[in-house]
Amino acid sequence: MQADLFSLFWPIKRLALWVSKRKIVKMEKEGDVEGLAEALLGGSGELRLEAALALGRIGGKSAVELLASTLHGNDSDARRCAAIALGATGDARAIPPLIESLGDYSGDVRNEAVKALTKIGAPAVEHLVGRLADGCDRRMEGLLVEALSGIGEPAIGPLIGLLDSPGPEARKKAAIALGEAGSQRAVKPLIACLKDEDTGVRKAAIVSLGKLGSHDAVEPLLGCLNDPDPSIRGKAAWALGRIGDLKAIDPLLLLLDDKDQNVSYEANRALYCLGWNRL
């Protein structure tokens, strides 16, 4: 009986969906922003996303403002669809509300906001870097870094500039973001950060140099193995293992007897990465 009902109603449901999609296509052709807004807020699932994307394709001030206002609504799925559509517009006016959505309680909305900002690209960099320079919690920081690293090369220059910020927290965040962005242009500025007065900045620079994997960083990192701070020595050992230059083997062997247990552990792990136990 249930199977018979399903087979009866399923074609009707598909037909209704097709009709609704045709209405959305018609509203898009007519530039019916208000009608599409109703479909976005009152629809569900596939239709809701279709309406949001139609608004994004229409673009312009009214469509962007409507989608941005949806980001403040109570329906998380509507917010998610609005974020996707705003990214598709490529409109710089979408950037501030999308950055604000990085703080949304819904993980789906946050993820789509990151993707949207990445899609908008270079115009979003200044806003993202500015927000990163301001105080924010760790989750927001991670999402800002993710967006900037996704944008890639256009973000490198502004992030390098942020390394000269008077605030150590901003310098640390910039160092982290440069490691995630993956550009070799960041190697020299990050090497300079190894002399920063702030321990957090130095550690962030060491980790990012390890991620970038440039052999130009090996000698400066070897110098960090003699730092009086054990957290610096440990991070430097990790980074050298990640880069994989064999000239680090002898200095790392000396760290196996370090009085700090974590440092000796990182040195041992780095030596393993360098193949020392197999040489």
Tell which residue, 193, 243, 188, has the closest CA to residue 215: 243
Residue 10 has pLDDT above 60, yes or no: no
CATH class of 215-279: mainly alpha
Tell which residue, 113, 123, 135, 114, has the closest CA to residue 93: 123
- State the average pLDDT over residues 232-238: 97
- Asked whether the beta carbons of 163 and 171 are under 8 A apart, the reply is yes
pLDDT confidence tier of residue 50, bands split at 50, 70 and 90? confident
> Would you state the pLDDT for residue 35?
76
Does 215-279 match 121-212 at the fold level?
yes
> Would you state the pLDDT for residue 246?
95
Q: What are the residue boundaries of the structural domains of the chain, listed by start?
A: 51-71+78-84+95-117, 121-212, 215-279
152: region left, alpha or beta (phi > 0 left; psi from -120 to 50 alpha): left
- 0.75 cut: is pTM over it? yes
Q: What is the pLDDT of residues 242-265, one digit of tens each?
A: 999 999 999 999 999 999 999 999
CATH of 121-212, one of 1.25.10.10, 3.40.30.10, 3.100.10.20, 3.40.50.11270: 1.25.10.10
Residue 18 has pLDDT above 50, yes or no: no
